């Protein structure tokens, strides 16, 4: 284990603090960082997006957090998407969160597989009046590699040109 266990109440409180700041009918989307390649089949040690970790405690690639505090269906107000695992993935890449483990770590009751993201995201977007997409803007930033968040923003702008992004 990379960290000593952290009580999920911390992440629940962090999400509550953020959602208090959101306007009504707001959707916030946060993506995990990418796994960065070294060469051939090598990769650097994974480093989670600070914002996603702060709000969920989840330290796993390909994770997405959706927050929509006043969505009509309470089950969809906090959603965590994680990559579905298998025995082969566990052998080659190591242990990945089960839905139950992700809930236990984050305090988010509704955890779905990443394969369900597009359908659910489209449903939430139909109700959203404001959408907040995570980005790491900084005056001195000189980003040579497009981040997962930046690719997601570009994808949303292309697919949803009239959305409140």
Residue 17 located in a structural domain: yes
Can you tell me whether residue 112 is helix, strand or coil?
strand
In total, how many domains does the chain have? Answer: 1
* 93-123 confidence digits (pLDDT tens): 889 999 999 999 999 999 999 999 999 999 9
Look at residue 35 in the predicted model and tell me its pLDDT: 73
Q: How far apart are CA 150 and CA 134, in angstroms?
A: 8
Residue 123 located in a structural domain: yes
Answer yes or no: is pLDDT of 146 > 70: no
For the segment 40-69, the average pLDDT, to the nearest whole number, is: 90
Look at residue 162 in the predicted model and tell me its pLDDT: 57
Residue 59 located in a structural domain: yes
Answer yes or no: is pLDDT of 55 > 70: yes
């Amino acid at each position: 284990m990379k960290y000593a266990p952290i009580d999920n109440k911390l992440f629940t409180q962090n999400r509550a603090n953020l959602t208090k700041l959101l306007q009504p009918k707001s959707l916030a989307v946060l993506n995990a960082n990418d796994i960065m390649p070294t060469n051939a089949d090598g990769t650097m040690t994974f480093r989670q997006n600070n914002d996603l970790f702060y709000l969920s405690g989840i330290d796993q690639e390909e994770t997405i957090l959706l927050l929509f505090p006043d969505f009509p269906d309470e089950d969809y107000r906090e959603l965590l998407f994680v990559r579905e695992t298998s025995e082969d993935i566990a052998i080659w890449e190591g242990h990945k969160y089960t839905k139950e483990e992700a809930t236990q770590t984050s305090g988010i009751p509704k955890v779905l597989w990443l394969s369900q993201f597009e359908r659910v995201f489209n449903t939430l977007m139909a109700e959203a009046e404001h959408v907040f997409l995570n980005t790491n803007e900084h005056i001195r930033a000189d980003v040579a590699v497009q981040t997962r968040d930046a690719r997601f923003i570009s994808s949303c702008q292309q697919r949803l040109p009239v959305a409140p992004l």
